[in-house]
Amino acid sequence: MLRLVASCLSRLPLGVHHWLADRLLYPLMYYVLRYRRKVAEKNLKLAFPEKSEQERRTIARGAYRQFCYTIVESIYGLHCSDEEMRRRVVFEHMDEINRQVALHGGAIFTLAHFGNWEWLASVQQWLSPEVTEMNVYRQLKSKSFDRLMLAIRAERGGVCVEKQRILRELIRYRAEKKPVTVGLLSDQKPRPEVTRTWTTFLHQETGWLDGGEVLARKFGYPVYYAFVTRTAKGYYHVDMQTLTTDPKATQEGEITRAYATALEKNILAQPELWLWTHNRWKWGRNVNGNW
């Protein structure tokens, strides 16, 4: 039922979707439901202590609008043509990435909850035809929403793989000599007991997921960061920045720290595009490094 409703809504012009986001969804989430407002305000105060309360509130409102745009744009994507999607999400440096994938058999794309991260799955359209884009995901509790999100993420031809299965799938693709790229959202907070890499990020001591680095070093895949810029409402530019083309020559934590640095630069450039409602700094560690 949910998929049917989303499919019907997807046929509306994108301008209508944005109008609904601005006039209905945004006021509902920000002013009425106050969805995670305290978390977002706390995060912004920690990240930007030098800004005034009014400046932080402006960023917060922009971030909630972008979150609403991501929701409606993702639904619109169910009916959007490949040609239109290529106009709306433009990826840079893909010729070089395709060359590296052919050379190494694969690549790791590190992403963030930034801009419209759901539309980044359209990178499949920019890859060579023989390359498979794997989008790593965590299964949602609601089966209806899980099926809908899988449909949205697989619309551009990529393959959704649950995180527990990704290693097994990469081993299989390597054995079958099939080139593959892996898209990983790496800005969530890791469980404290498994955190190995820490950086100072937006003035906070921050632990990082390092799955992308682990896979890159195991398989020898080059690693890229998707630096996203919103150029207009419903239009995004993605600069695929190289973090390393030789992961096995890096030190432990080096790739993950490079990701954190790239993400911080991305946030400082357009802070309203990051998902501030994540309780990113819920955990920390004491001065002795113990929990």
Place of tokens 């994938």: 101
264 contact partners, CB below 8 Å, separation of at least 6? 201, 202
DSSP state at residue 247? G
Q: Amino acid identity, residue 240?
A: M
- Residue 143, helix vs strand vs coil: helix
CA distance 243 to 264: 14
User: Helices 211-219 & 254-269, crossing angle to 10 degrees?
Assistant: 130
Q: Amino acid identity, residue 166?
A: I
CA distance 73 to 122: 13
Q: What is the pTM of this model?
A: 0.93
CA distance 243 to 92: 15
Looking at residue 69, its pLDDT comes to 98
Tokens, residue 255: 């790739």
Looking at residue 92, its pLDDT comes to 98
Looking at residue 182, its pLDDT comes to 97
Tokens, residue 286: 């004491």
For the chain (291 residues), the mean pLDDT of every run of 10, in chain order, is 75 96 98 97 97 98 98 93 96 98 98 96 95 87 70 75 93 97 93 87 95 97 98 98 97 97 98 96 59 39
CA distance 78 to 8: 9
Q: 121 and 155 in contact (C-beta within 8 Å)?
A: yes
B/e letters for 55-64, b = 16+ CB within 10 Å, e = fewer, are ebeebbeebb
CA distance 33 to 31: 6
